[in-house]
Every structure is written in structure tokens, then in C-alpha cells.
Amino acid sequence: MVGKCDFVSVIGAILVLTIFHNPNIVHAGEGVPEVALFTFGDSYYDAGNKAFLSKKKNPPQTQWPYGKSLDDPNGKFSDGHIVPDFIGDFISIPNGIPPALKPGANLSRGASFAVADASILGAPVESMTLNQQVNKFRSMKSNWTDDYIEKSLFMIYIGTEDYLNFTKTNPTADASAQQAFVISVTNKLKNDIGLLYSLGASKFMVQLLAPLGCLPIMRQEHGTGNDCYEPLNDLAKQHNEKIGPMLNQFAKSPGFQFTVFDFYNAILRRTQRPHNYRFYVANSSCCGVGTHTAYGCGMGNVHSKLCEYQRSYLFFDGRHNTEKAQEELAHLIYGADTNVIQPMTVRELIVFPAGANMLESWEPNLSSVRRRPSTKSTSVYRLLDLVG
């Protein structure tokens, strides 16, 4: 009965119905509530925090050619904007979110807690574990109201360092040792997400790991030529298989909402069919030295090569994507079909009423393209249950 719901829930559900099924609402920011964006993880999401922890006076990511496309080396590991910048733009945060470690930063629309070299396990040098990032958020939590935190977006991408370090220190690990390590990593990740939830976060976008063995730096270090280093890809796949079921379990908790971005296959498709995505080079990087120009970009003591046109490359350096690729990925996160992000897009996650329980769950092996409905569907009628 409507009478049993408060007015805010009724309006929220009506807004969701309007946004999901009105084809005229297509522009970024339109119909989307003003929320904050918080990011956690490693260098993929680092907005500049590493520079504040580094003992080096001028770390590579603060020097040209990083920031090349913007002519602004600002501590981000790309030639320009990174995924959170584009997501911020889509939800009307025009200048992006600042690094949380920057003194005097404007935190009104959120902050980046991600730090390059971050890991889930261990004690990374001049960096922070995910748990330390979450505790940093805890210490700064008073900058935002509880209601604002509950309706805001929390993006997480981490785990690369854990698996790169594991394969480096355990090159002959057997299947059981690999499985045990994956379980230890994902269990700790589960604990850290649970801590964020206990601090008031409720809307999570978790990005699956990339095919780590296809990174140019891994092809170069392992001498695989045009092939990927499959042992690392196998570890990433084992890790990724545990994320959806983990979040499905979390969604049984009151108000916990999530979506999962299949970053693994998004990158794999671009390495296998680069021309379909308007890339010319997908197995080597734009900046660096070595067989795949994958090492030393921005380092003062390395005479690294630089490609002439970075927008033709999938990777800018040995591990990080170009601005062009980051923009493509951000569009996928914000509005792709369920074979790419599920059970909902980030746009749908943001407009979904805060505090409401999930209506759909993550599904395994969703490899075929399933279009999101543009007309009334079972989900619409289930949404009506929120107000009836």
C-alpha cells in the first residue's frame, strides 16, 4: 500500500521508472540526482594521491608526457582524463573529484582515495592498502552527511598489484596455491567492502580485473610477443569469478546496491579486435622502452620513446589505458548492456532509490548480448512494489 511508504520513496520509485523507460532522457546529468563520487583502488583510479606519498620530488606521473592530451601532467596515470573523470562529468562534477590527500581540496562532491601501487593484501611501499584507504575515508567522513553518503557512488578497482606480486614471487605456484591466494585476496576485499558499507556507503560499482597477462608490460617482461601471459590471465579470471557472487550476498543486507563492470572482456575485445574500436596498436604502449615500449614512461633516467598519436593506442604506458580508451570504458560503465555491466548501469544505480533493496542480481556466464528493456517489463512491475 502506498500509505505504508514515505513520500520520498514514492517519488524515488517514480523517478526510476521515468529514467529507465523514457527514451527522451539521454543526456549526461539529466534526471540524475546530485551525488558525490568516491573512488578506491590503485593507479587506474588514482587522481593524484601517489604524488603526496612519494619520496621522489617529481614522480613520473607528474611529468610530461603524462597528461599529454591535456598538456597538464597532474599525477594521473594516463595521457589525459581517467575513467572517474568521465563518470564525474556524466553526473555533473565538471572538474572531477580531487585526491583525498591534497590539502585544502574541495570535497563537496567526493574524493579519490585510490593510490598507485595499492594492494588488497600486504603493506605496499609509499602507497595504501584498500583497508587503509577505507579507514582514511572513515577519518574524513564528517565532511559529508550520512544521507549524502548513502545516495553517492562508490567505485572500486583493485587487485592488480596482488596478483603481479604473487606471480613474481611464486612463479611455479601450482593450482591449489593459486586458488588459496585468490581466496585470501577476495576474502579481504569482502571485509573491506563490508567496512565501507558499515560506514554508510550503499551504492557500489566494482570493476573486474583486466586480463593482466595482456598488459604490455607483462608481454614484455615474459617475452610472449603478441600473445598474452596466460598464467596471469588465469589468476584474474579466478578472482573475477568470485566478485559477482560476493556482491549478491552483500545485497541481502538492507539497502546494499551494486553493479559489476566486466573490464576483463572489455579490454580483451579491444586487444583482439582493435580496429573495431578505432585503435591501431593494442599490444604495445605509446610511451616507454623495450619490445613493447612498456617500461619507464616519464622516468627522468629512462630515454623512453613516445608515439606520435596516442589516440591510436589502447595503452598509454605499460599498464594504463589512453584517455581515448578511458572515455570508451566510462561510457560502458555508465550505459552499456548487461553483457558489459550488470545487473544495472551506473546511471541506473545512481537514480535507484537509496535505501531500497536490489530488484535484480548478478548472473554468471552472461556472455551473450541482452538488451536492456526500453518498454515495460517485469522489473518495472517489481519496482511498483516499492510504492505499493
Catalytically annotated residues: 43, 317, 320
Q: Burial-class residue 301 by CB neighbours within 10 Å (0-12, 13-18, 19+).
A: exposed
- 198: its cell numbers: 558499515
Contact assessment for residue 349 and residue 257, using Cβ atoms and an 8 Å cutoff: yes
Please write down the long-range contacts of 67-72, taking CB distance under 8 Å and 24 or more positions apart.
Answer: 68/306, 68/310, 69/310, 69/311, 69/322, 69/323, 70/323
| Cα–Cα distance, 45 to 100 (Å, whole number) | 12
Please write down the long-range contacts of 379-388, taking CB distance under 8 Å and 24 or more positions apart.
Answer: 380/17, 380/20, 380/21, 383/13, 383/16, 383/17, 383/359, 384/13, 384/17, 386/5, 386/9, 386/12, 386/13, 386/353, 386/356, 387/2, 387/5, 387/9, 387/10, 387/13, 387/14, 388/1, 388/2
Question: Who's near 110: CB < 8 A, 6+ residues apart?
Answer: 36, 37, 38, 39, 93, 97, 152, 153
